Amino acid sequence: MQGTDIQSSSGQPSGNGSTPHARRATAEILRVDGVSKEFKVGGGVVTALRSVDLQLREGEFIAIRGRSGAGKTTLLNIIAGLDDPTHGRVVLFGGAALASGKPEPLGDTWEWDGRAWRRIDVTGPGARDHVAMTYSPVHRAIVLHSGGSPTTGMLADSWLYDGRAWTRLLDAGPPRGRHRLVYDPDQRAVMLYGGYDGRERTSELWALRARTWERLAP
């Protein structure tokens, strides 16, 4: 999606219910991984979106800017279920249910294929809130790291989801919640920034290279 800028700002968590969107609190509620959209025009193919990644947390507002024809409306239509992606999918994991008045961590996996939400019957990471995920071309899978719950505290494990099953990648990494993960093609690594380590907020920067977490800064 050339020439398109995505900006975000955080607001207050709100909403509850039974849908994957509404029952997540202060957690990642939407992830778009590697979504592409192609249109056949005449004898050729026009690419509207190419490998778009997007993360959205409860209470966060995102503005998508760009020139006409950059793919803004196409992306929104796919997220809303009005159009289908040519490649890629939207994946949700975990979060917290608010049915009893206090957050209860969840451990379910959902996928959106452009038409409907589907709960995936897979066994993987334990129930947790405040997780972070990103797609890694190196691992050819979605990487999930850390998160926590009132009973477990901050976790430190890393997992891979290839669209069929969850696989534990590492048992020990930086314990984090409310952190950010993003794939850096220059570093060929998954980058982790910030979050809460169980005691305080942190601005540490880490890199996941294959099967090893490396602290970069500060």
> For residue 71, what pLDDT band results from cuts at 50, 70 and 90?
confident
Question: 20: burial class by Cβ within 10 Å (0-12, 13-18, 19+)?
Answer: buried
Is residue 3 over pLDDT 80?
no
pLDDT, position 20: 55
Sheet holding 158-161, edge to edge: 132-136, 141-145, 158-161, 166-170
Q: What is the mean pLDDT of residues 59-76?
A: 81
Question: 153: burial class by Cβ within 10 Å (0-12, 13-18, 19+)?
Answer: exposed
Residue identified by tokens 């980058």 is 191
Is residue 25 over pLDDT 50?
no
pLDDT, position 167: 96
For the segment 169-208, what is each residue's pLDDT rounded down to a tens digit?
Answer: 999 999 999 899 988 888 999 999 999 998 899 999 999 9
Phi, psi of 14 (to 5 degrees): -155, 160
Higher pLDDT, 43 or 212: 212
Give the Cα separation of 142 and 166 in Å (integer): 9
Amino acid at 182: V
- What does pLDDT average to over the chain? 81
> For residue 30, what pLDDT band results from cuts at 50, 70 and 90?
confident
Give the Cα separation of 130 and 135 in Å (integer): 17
pLDDT, position 218: 86
For the segment 110-142, what is each residue's pLDDT rounded down to a tens digit?
Answer: 987 666 788 999 998 999 988 999 888 899 889
> For residue 88, what pLDDT band results from cuts at 50, 70 and 90?
low
pLDDT, position 92: 85
For the segment 31-57, what is each residue's pLDDT rounded down to a tens digit?
Answer: 777 788 888 788 788 888 888 888 777
Domain boundaries, the chain: 1-111, 122-218
Which stretches of 70-132 are DSSP H helices?
Answer: 72-80
pLDDT, position 137: 85
